[in-house]
A and B are shown apart, each in its own frame.
Chain A
């Protein structure tokens, strides 16, 4: 199927700002699903609130646009009640790690077969540029006018520690890697986390004098490196990209089916 078969064309052009990285994530996600050749009827996209969450409205899947931070909880209900569905949850920084932080770690702990895509733009875009738990110290935001003193989470370390069985990071610049990683994440049986570093030129970029979307993407190229590269050894400041965790562990819905067997068979 062509790219346009996966989207709801009548809502385009989309609502995101010029140069927004979230559009590139949408693009990469479509490529990943296209390559997998999955039927749209078996795909469910569950999202929360924020710029990132609007991605669900554009995809021609079963789409559930929920409330702020709770997408993974809704998604858990969808998945556990009908495990044959493929459930993808795109989230922003707040959805995933601020208001929704608890659901994030518990979905990871359960290892329920859901693909979480964290679109990390280090800012709350929809509300106009407030700092998020991924902004990091020294950065400017409308609620950090004297610069931010909040330390940031490392999404990869967080997901790993919480028990996610697939954890990866990529960027909106590295589009081929992004599509490959999202594809692998969807195929992985268990809770998958893909952090995509995504640019918000309108708020994060402007507030922090990082230039245009193009400048911000060049920065992604310069400040990241493949996992375990020689460059990383030389410059520890570089952010690693790639698949950090990919392990097989009992998946929640499969385990629950065993509970049903036990309960029905008179334990």
Chain B
């Protein structure tokens, strides 16, 4: 069988990844620069018997996918900054009620309406802390279409494994750029199926009691187990409780199930890091320029490498420490005012050796931009 090769937008690569992962329900609302995801799914989902619905707003879209996840479906919504803000309350609900679902945020310039058609990576911290209350979250990103595909599949797998919402933090450049995508054959990337309870009807089923391995088997709405799902703190049956022991236990569980598995969820790529004294840390489309400058400086003998993060949350602190602790210069390349840079600084042994190379003007950061900032950092002038 010959591989299917496409020349498409990043948003379409995300669609292909989602369908490969078994997506069968999408609810969304048009918003630049993510709209192509909804458009393509409106066509492709019903072709495989799945459902697409354009809801009345961003909030409703997020709520609808939660409802559809509970009937046993793999679900997705896609948005950008303003819509991502609107989804935050129901995203918190998905965290609290432990609903597997995937939310794409194709980032654009903010705050507010910002620069809708231009690139930004300014939602890193919103992805982490956008919804209220202590919690943990998973957010993945990618810099090219093959990785957009892979990370989308990964997002569904993590959502099912940990019963959690997973955010795909793409950006306008990746979303709209066209490049080659080779679609893996079925089975090439393993898929995590919904873990359903083996408990028979008539036997007490606990939707919120983790097994020994930490996973929580689910039961579809409509099946034999009738249970309660709520955004209130709840006991192992899903019924509200304000018992301090239960409140504490649930909050710990929600955070620990993500943070204690951070290394299992850490996805990243390394380029020329073996002997690097200058380590660029980047992600998403910015990592493309970072890699370009690394590859153009290497032939000149500069010991420079790139750590490309694909898992942003939970923050891969071990990986960042491993590659940056001994670097003379760690330079975080991102299109925001230092959201990942801050995290790197709190992670590494020598925060004073961590610098920011950024652009926040809606213009894509170029290799030349990075090169100029590197010269400044190293005191060589521009």
Contact = CB atoms under 8 A, between A and B. Distances in A.
B47 interface: yes
B60 A65 contact: no
A75 B66 CA distance: 9
Contacts of A66: 63, 66, 93, 230-231
A70 B73 CA distance: 20
Main secondary structure of the interface of B (DSSP, over half): mixed
Interface in A1-45: 11, 40-42, 44
A61 interface: yes
Given A62-B221, A82-B221, A74 B66 contact: yes
Contacts of B47: 263-264
Main secondary structure of the interface of A (DSSP, over half): helix
Given A11-B239, A67-B89, A76 B226 contact: no
B25 interface: yes
Contacts of A180: none
A73 B64 contact: yes
Interface residues of B, number: 45
B35 interface: no
Contacts, number: 135
A56 B49 CA distance: 31
A77 B226 contact: no
Contact of B67 (A46, A102, A260): A46
Interface centre among B55, B227, B228 (most CB of A within 10 A): B228
Contacts of A106: 55-56, 60
B71 A78 contact: yes
A63 interface: yes
B254 interface: no
11 contacts: A40-B226, A64-B228, A64-B229, A66-B230, A74-B66, A75-B67, A77-B70, A77-B71, A82-B71, A82-B221, A263-B43
Interface of A: 11, 40-42, 44, 46, 56-57, 60-67, 70, 73-82, 84-85, 102-103, 106, 256, 259-260, 262-264
Interface of B: 24-25, 27, 43, 46-49, 51, 53, 55-57, 59-61, 63-73, 75, 89-90, 93, 220-224, 226-232, 239-240
Given A57-B240, A65-B240, A74-B64, 9 more contacts: A60-B226, A64-B67, A65-B228, A66-B66, A73-B56, A76-B53, A77-B68, A79-B67, A106-B56
